[in-house]
Each structure stands twice: as C-alpha cells, then as structure tokens.
Amino acid sequence: MHAYIMTKTISLSDEAYEILAGLKGENKSFSDVVLEFARRSSRQNILKFFGVWADRDDEVHRVFEEITTERKKARLRDSA
C-alpha cells in the first residue's frame, strides 16, 4: 500500500477510464496502474537501443578510444 502525499484531478475520456479500470482490478489503485505503465514504457525505451552497434566493432573501438583519450585529457587538466 502506498502513502499518497497529494491528490491530483485529471480528465480522462470514457474509453481511457474503462481501460484503466479494467487494468486496475480490485487490488490496485489507478496510480499503481499508471506507474506500472510508465516504468514499463521507460524500460522499453532503453531496450530499443540494445544491439544497435552489433556487427560494428570498428565503430565501437573508435568510440571507446575517443572516450579513453578524453578521460586522460580531463585527468591531466584536473591534476595541473
């Protein structure tokens, strides 16, 4: 069970309300349903990048080397 600090009123179409109510069931709040959806969507957004650089070893190596070089430069500036 969640402790809610504030309440907000939002407007939904009848269709949206019916969908949320169906997902909610008896054991969840509307907030639970919205938060689950938002978290799942966030993970899916990150997962769409999985494997983007597959079969691009030359590009991965170049970017890694560039990052390593820039980190070394930053360390040198910090110690000066």
What per-residue confidence (pLDDT) applies to 47?
Answer: 73
Mean pLDDT of the chain: 83
What per-residue confidence (pLDDT) applies to 54?
Answer: 84
Same domain assignment for residues 8 and 41: yes
What is the distance between the alpha carbons of residues 1 and 28, in angstroms, rounded to a whole number?
9
What is the distance between the alpha carbons of residues 13 and 10, in angstroms, rounded to a whole number?
10
Same domain assignment for residues 45 and 12: yes
pLDDT at 56 over 90: no
Global pTM exceeds 0.75: no
Contact, 74 vs 67, CB < 8 A? no
More confident call, 48 vs 58: 58
Write out the residue range of the structural domain in which residue 31 sits.
1-49
Same domain assignment for residues 44 and 77: no
